[in-house]
Structure 1
Amino acid sequence: MQACKNGIESTRKNSQASERFETKNVATGHKFNLKATNGQVIGTSEVYNSLSGMNNGISSVMKNAPEAPILDLS
């Protein structure tokens, strides 16, 4: 359970640093990874059809991740 809590905290913290978002062009569009300070990928987006869609996705993560509700379904 502690590892899960650590992962959530890492996501919340790293989502506030734009340099933690790695953007990629893929054959079907654009996507991004959210990386921790050690370089480990801690989140991967869906594939977006447009660059603006991907940028909106990053903005949404930055805005919502810090206060996103946590539901324990275990």
Structure 2
Amino acid sequence: MTGKFELYKDKSGEYRFRLKAGNGEVIASSSESYGSKAAALNGIDSIKRNAAEAKVDDQTD
């Protein structure tokens, strides 16, 4: 099973999303809330476009 984005409303009625792995475990979630569904979907789309080519900046050293 593949992962999926879940779009939901938080307690204040704002939109948020989380990314779940195929096993149902949450592996990422939006750190900000969105005032509209369209804005939240745009955030998801931005992650889809940019994450594949994102580099890892290891700042542990």
Please identify which structure carries the higher helix content.
1
The answer for unaligned runs of 5 or more in structure 1 is 1-12, 15-19
Counting aligned pairs with the same residue, the percent is 40
Q: 1:34, CA displacement in angstroms?
A: 0.2
Runs of 4 or more above 2 Å deviation = none
Instruction: Assess if the C-alpha contact under 8 Å between 1:32 and 1:44 holds in 2.
Output: yes
Give the 5 Å matches for 1:1-74.
14=3, 20-26=4-10, 27-45=12-30, 46-74=32-60
The TM-score normalised by the length of structure 2 is: 0.84
The answer for unaligned runs of 5 or more in structure 2 is none
Aligned residues: 57
